Structure formats: C-alpha cells, structure tokens
C-alpha cells in the first residue's frame, strides 16, 4: 500500500512496552535502533561463524612434517647458523611419489620417491625481492648419513642429488642442500603430482606459449603450438615432460618449470586472486590439501603471511635461475657445479646480497642454459662445503642467466 503521494509509508517499529502507541517519539526511535543493532549483530555473528569454519577447515588441511623437524634437531650443531637478518630461505620440493589418490596414474608405486623438482627460494630481509634457484636432480653432491623410514641409516656418499629424498626424505634433502650451499633452510614445503594439478585448476589454468606442438604419451601431454591456457593435468605434463620438448635435457625442463612458475606468480598477482575471497578460497583449499610443511609453516596464518610477502614483491623482482653447472666430468648424464660462479651465488644468498638475472642468450642456450656468472668466487672444498669465507666479494652485483615473473611464459 502507498500513501496519496505514491510513496510507501515507513513501517512502524516493533511494538514493545517502551515504544507502544502514544510513546514519545524518542523512545520509539531508540527501540527501533536496538532491534536494528540486534539484527546486524546476528548477521555479523553468522558471518564470523562461517569465516571461522572456513579457517578451521583450511587450517586442518595442512599436513605437518614433524619427522623432518625431529631429525634436523639431532643435527643442529652441524647446520649453518641462522641468519642475523629477517631474510628467509624456503626449500620447495616436488615429490614424484606414486602413492596417494590421483598419483598412481603416473607410474607404478614402488614404495620409493625422489625429488622431481627442488627449488631454494630466498626472500630478502626487506621483502623487496625473491630469488628461486633450481637445484638439478642429477647434480653430483655429498649426501650425509641419513635416517631411513625403517629406522636404519645410510652411509655418507657422493651421489646424485635426488637420491637424498629417497634415502631419508625431507630432512636428508635439507641437510644435503645446507652442506652444499652453506645456507640454512628456514622452512620447507613438499607438493605431489595431485596437489600441483588441483592448484592450477583452482586458478582456472595458467597461460603458456609453445613454439612447436607437443605429443608426449609418457607425460600425458598433447598440445598444439601457440598461446594457450593449460589446466592442471596439462600443466603437470608441461613441467614434467623431458624428451618431447626442447633438447630433451633436464636443463631445458628446469627452464620450462621456471617459465611456468613465473607465469603462475604473474597470474595470481595480476588477476587479483589474493584480494578476491570467492577466487582465493578454492586456491587455498587446493594448496593447503596439497602441501606438507614444517611446524613453522603449518598454519593458515603462516601461509597467508608468506603469500602477503610474495604479493608485495614486484613481479620483475621475483627471479628464477638454475645453479651454474655443467656435465659431470666422469658421466655426461650427471651434473657438477660450475665454479667459482656457484659458490658466489650461494654466498650472495647467505649474506642477503643482491643477485641479478638476465635472459638466456643463444650462447647460453647452446650450453644447455648454463652460465658461469660474473665476478670472483672460490669454489667448494672436497666435502662440498663452500670455502669462500675469506674471499672478498666484488663490488658489482653478480649476474646469472635466468628470468623473472614479469616475463611470464610467453616471452
């Protein structure tokens, strides 16, 4: 019903003893405001309850790796000392395990797993840059004596890097990286095939460009040439394929992984995923289900703080490179570090000093993406530990071939 002017009349406030007909106008308004406040409070409480439920659900998705933490505590005295700045080093490990739902289709479960991809991510103290260094799985390194899942121990040995994960899981991999680089690993994340796919799907895919078509049955990948958006299954094949794309080397695959990660970071930042709850929730749900972390990174708050740090870094300051290396002298199918460049890179990261990357050139591509860097350095000792503590650093920022997230995967 409307009044004569055609305007709906204002509803009367709910009846109550202090706002009954004939009550003063001020009392009627106060009573109406109380009911309004009550209604708003109920809505806020419901929203808070739903928000808390979502938080608990996401928080409960995360798997904590207490075994690695316990093992690392046993070897605290031999580990590099913690840095004096707010810089942070994370080890990101992609596991090739076939156990677990959705992973068996990539091969038969033999009860073992190796680190298919390992990246050391350095976040600068000022949170102004992030440097992601790929460590080749075939790199020959000294792997310390590690505790195996059955409780027995391996002997210290010189072997290819990804055996460390098979021997003693995350703790053995971390100790191997720390022995190689002299850099203390503050936190770690492990992600498997299924988790990677789900995260890409939650982002509605990631765009890449192919110069040539790809048909790789082993990687379950068949794509035409050109610009396209990969779903989770296709993205997994893209970062895992080796023989069917490029020159078939692990070098080329690591470069492709870096391209994809750059495109992933670029999409998350440019599409406003972190600022849109309706888009952020499925990404967080997939991510928290996919990862296993140390106790220092096993809560939604911890992961959010990490994501917020990454969001604040300009994409051109999110850098990707592979540690300088070349074919191993005694086996061309394995790798060894290029010195003094590798030691210089490790030292820059240990001391939170700047590192610059430049795009691959025709010359570096012919060398399989390897780069010796620039500037001075000393190399490593027989035990694999950096021995450059007394060598002064050059004044110029050392440069290595690589890329940044602003390049994306189509540059």
* Chain centroid to CA 238: 17
DSSP state of 145: P
Full-model pTM: 0.77
Burial of 151 (0-12, 13-18, 19+ CB in 10 A): exposed
Sign (positive/negative) of CA torsion 26, 31, 37, 40?
negative
Name the average pLDDT for the chain: 78
Q: What is the pLDDT of residues 37-95, one digit of tens each?
A: 665 555 555 555 546 556 778 888 889 999 999 999 999 999 999 877 789 999 999 87
- Within a 10 A sphere around the Cβ of 354, how many other Cβ atoms? 12
Q: Are strands 399-404 and 318-322 parallel, antiparallel or unpaired?
A: antiparallel
Q: What pLDDT was estimated at residue 363? A: 58
Contacts of residue 410, defined as CB under 8 A and 6 or more positions apart, other chains included, come to 207, 208, 209, 227, 263
Confidence of residue 348 (pLDDT cuts 50, 70, 90): very high
User: How many Cα neighbours within 13 Å face the side chain of 106?
Assistant: 23
Q: Domain-by-domain residue ranges, the chain?
A: 22-59, 62-406
pLDDT at 322 over 90: yes
CATH 3.40.630.190 fits 62-406, yes or no: yes
Q: Are 109 and 98 in contact (CB under 8 A)?
A: yes
């Amino acid at each position: 019903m409307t009044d004569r002017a055609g305007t709906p009349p204002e509803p009367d406030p709910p009846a109550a003893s202090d706002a009954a007909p004939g009550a003063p106008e001020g009392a009627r308004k106060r009573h109406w405001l109380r009911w309004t406040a009550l209604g708003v409070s109920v809505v806020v409480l419901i929203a808070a309850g739903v928000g808390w439920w979502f938080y608990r659900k996401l928080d409960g998705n995360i798997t904590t790796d207490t075994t690695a933490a316990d093992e690392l505590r046993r070897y605290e005295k031999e580990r590099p000392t913690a840095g004096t700045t707010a810089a942070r080093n994370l080890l990101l490990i992609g596991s090739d395990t076939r156990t677990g739902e959705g992973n068996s289709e990539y091969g038969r479960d033999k009860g073992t797993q190796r680190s298919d991809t390992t990246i050391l991510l350095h976040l600068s103290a000022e949170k102004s840059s992030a440097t992601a260094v790929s460590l080749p799985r075939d790199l020959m390194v000294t792997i310390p004596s590690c505790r195996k899942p059955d409780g027995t121990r391996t002997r210290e040995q010189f072997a290819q890097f990804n055996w460390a994960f098979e021997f003693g899981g995350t703790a053995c991999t971390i100790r191997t990286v720390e022995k190689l680089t002299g850099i203390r690993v503050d936190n770690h994340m492990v992600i498997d095939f299924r988790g990677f796919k789900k995260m890409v799907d939650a982002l509605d895919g990631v765009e890449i460009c192919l110069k040539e078509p790809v048909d790789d049955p082993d990687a379950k990948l068949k794509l035409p040439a050109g610009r396209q958006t990969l779903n989770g299954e296709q993205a997994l094949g893209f970062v895992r394929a080796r023989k069917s794309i490029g020159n078939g080397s692990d070098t080329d695959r690591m470069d492709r992984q870096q391209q994809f990660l750059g495109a992933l970071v670029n999409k998350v930042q440019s599409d406003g995923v972190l600022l849109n709850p309706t888009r952020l929730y499925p990404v967080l749900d997939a991510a928290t289900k996919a990862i296993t972390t140390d106790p220092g990174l096993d809560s939604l708050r911890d992961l959010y703080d990490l994501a917020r740090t990454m969001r604040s870094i300009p994409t051109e300051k999110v850098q990707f490179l592979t540690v300088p290396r070349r074919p191993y002298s005694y086996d061309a199918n394995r790798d060894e570090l290029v010195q003094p460049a590798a030691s210089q890179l490790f030292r820059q990261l240990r001391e939170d000093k700047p590192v610059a990357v430049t795009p691959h050139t025709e010359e570096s591509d012919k060398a399989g993406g390897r780069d010796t860097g620039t500037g001075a350095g000393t190399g490593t000792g027989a035990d694999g530990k950096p021995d450059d503590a007394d060598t002064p650093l050059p004044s110029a920022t050392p440069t290595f071939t690589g890329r940044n997230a602003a390049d994306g995967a189509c540059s």
